[in-house]
Amino acid sequence: MAKLDELFNLMVKEGASDLHVSTGYSPYFRMNSHMLKLNLAPLTPEKALKYISETMSQSHFDRLKKDLELDWSYRLPGVGRFRANAFWQENGIGAVYRAIPDKIKSLKELGLPETLKELTEHPKGLVLVTGPTGSGKSTTLASLIHYINTTKKKHIITIEDPIEYLHKGINCLINQRELERHTRSFARALRAALREDPDIILVGELRDLETMTLAMMAAETGHLVFATLHTNSAAKSIHRIVSSFPSEQQNQTRTMLSESLVGVIAQTLLPTFHNDGMVPAIEYLIATSAIRNLIREDKVFQIPTVIQTSAKIGMISFKKSVQDLADNEIISPDVAETYLKEL
């Protein structure tokens, strides 16, 4: 039994999202966006190394020593799964563990609009779920995949780093692949997936040009592709993809993206009114003909205006989402005002 298992038990019981373990410090929980120091002695280099290494395999530990940082997952039976990242810092080793619930929540339970289900009805295309680290992207994607799993008969392939939510086939055949364990790269796995007869492909992150290109190609050739980006809005997501390519390829990329894009969900998490949880605020872009034209014509800066004026067809702006949360007293007026000032 790993020494940290006691903290994982407490973490799930208290509803903490993350456990931080760092040499020279007491362990910390992240609770509703705040760091909470636990009443435990600071960890010596030896203890920190021992506690963290107990939650990984020998091959993982060998990779950590070689690469100096590592993503992996840890499962504690009867408690849950944890996405982990270990790293070296000035005092010694450190790690952060993110709790991944066994139960996959519905969009309604997550506080997300049911209209997002419409994205799963497309036979092909690219769906982006974007937001900063810790904004709930993986949870939203898991909810959409679970909805497909319960309502359709499809073949789903996921490519993740690491595997987060575990999906058991209900009506769908689901093959989940993890970077380094089951494949050497996102691009390599995505290229192979095109020969594995999938209907739906989930790509954990669009990290490089090859993965972006393959994702758009897969979306154009009859697959529904879900992917994430670390961007703060729909417009910035489109700009990020296009600007990642060399200038001589950007016109072609705009054309590919305009033809393959189905929609973008950009999200962030805000503290609830009584600061007893977090709730998502979202921006929802639907790739209408007008949006496709703006992408092709390099007028992405006009997209926020189109989103604001397209509420009747289901688009949602961050401003409207945050205002609705405040009007329904789900978040406080102060939180809404502070966030809206940052838009």
pLDDT exceeding 90 applies to what percent of the chain? 94
On whether both 121 and 92 belong to a single domain, the answer is no
**Sequence-separated (6 or more) residues with CB below 8 Å from residue 207:** 186
Among 100, 126, 141, the domain-final residue is: 100
Q: What is the pLDDT of residue 342?
A: 84
On whether both 81 and 111 belong to a single domain, the answer is no
* Segments forming the whole domain that contains residue 45: 5-100
On whether both 211 and 229 belong to a single domain, the answer is yes
Residue 221 has pLDDT above 90, yes or no: yes
142 touches 129 (CB < 8 A)? no
Where does 131-286 show beta strands of DSSP type E?
Answer: 155-160, 173-178, 200-203, 224-229, 261-271, 278-286
Q: Which residue has the tokens 């009007």?
A: 327
Share of the chain residues as helix, strand and coil, in percent rounded to the nearest 5: 40, 25, 30
Among 100, 129, 162, the domain-final residue is: 100
On whether both 153 and 36 belong to a single domain, the answer is no
130 touches 265 (CB < 8 A)? yes
47 touches 126 (CB < 8 A)? no
> How crowded is residue 147: how many other Cβ atoms within 10 Å of its Cβ?
18
pLDDT tens figures, 65-95: 999 999 999 999 989 999 999 999 999 999 9
Model pTM?
A: 0.94
The enclosing domain of 31 has a CATH number of 3.30.450.90
Confidence of residue 167 (pLDDT cuts 50, 70, 90): very high
Q: In this structure, what DSSP letter does residue 31 have?
A: E
Domains identified in the chain, total number: 2
**Sequence-separated (6 or more) residues with CB below 8 Å from residue 15:** 31, 277
On whether both 183 and 149 belong to a single domain, the answer is yes
On whether both 95 and 111 belong to a single domain, the answer is no
Q: In this structure, what DSSP letter does residue 301 have?
A: G
